[in-house]
Amino acid sequence: MARPRAFDTELAVERAMDLFWRQGFNATPLPQLTSRLGIGSGSLYAAFGSKEALYAQALKRYCDSLVAALAQETESASDIRSTLRELLLGMATADVADPERGCLLVNAATERSAHDDTVRQVRSAMAAVESVLTGTLERARSRGELGSGHSPVELSRFLTTFIQGLHVMGTARADRDFLEAAVSGALKVLD
């Protein structure tokens, strides 16, 4: 009979996510990971299968949380420009406050671009972000905030791409004025 797990797997995934987010997959050795989780390597393998599988779960948690937060922030938006401005400046502020952390999605895309499973996760998350933004922009268009010449799909693809660039610039320690000017420029696509 197998022994029941003596640790909380949800908490383990959360802690692993934070470690992978700060250090990346490659720079997180197994001993450091198991120490941070408070488990042995046998328990890690029994619960998750591998370090790679744990990384996939941590990335999924991050992506799900990111998309859920974006949906919540944009769902009841009554003014698309101010909503997007606040959202983008909030991202910039977070990146300026902790530039070494950056965005786990961007980190995964750059560090693990040769790993098909990670690439699929990143693409899926980007598609979900695009979908949320498309819905937000379609609602804005129906309220008359966007002209009929604007394509919500094209705008959401631009904004999805811009968001990732904004995260990269925050990680590169761009100053707040630079990021605010970039956000102002990006929002002109809505005019």
Domain boundaries, the chain: 59-190
Amino acid 2: pLDDT: 52
pTM of the model: 0.90
Query: What SS3 class is residue 50?
Result: coil
Q: What kind of fold does domain 59-190 have according to CATH?
A: Tetracycline Repressor; domain 2 (1.10.357)
Q: Is the pLDDT of residue 108 over 80?
A: yes
Give me the DSSP letters along 118-163.
Answer: HHHHHHHHHHHHHHHHHHHHHHHHHTTSS-TT--HHHHHHHHHHHH
Entry field: residues in the chain: 191
Task: Render the burial of 112-132: b for 16+ CB within 10 Å, e for the rest.
Answer: beebeebeebbeebbebbbbb
Place of tokens 């379609």: 138
Closest to 33 in 3D by CA, of 158, 50, 97, 124 = 50
Does the pLDDT value for residue 4 go beyond 60?
no
Q: Which two tokens stand for residue 77?
A: 């938006």
Rounded distance, CA 91 to CA 88, Å?
Answer: 5
pLDDT for residue 102: 86
pLDDT of residue 81 exceeding 80, the answer is: yes
Structure tokens at 26: 């490659």
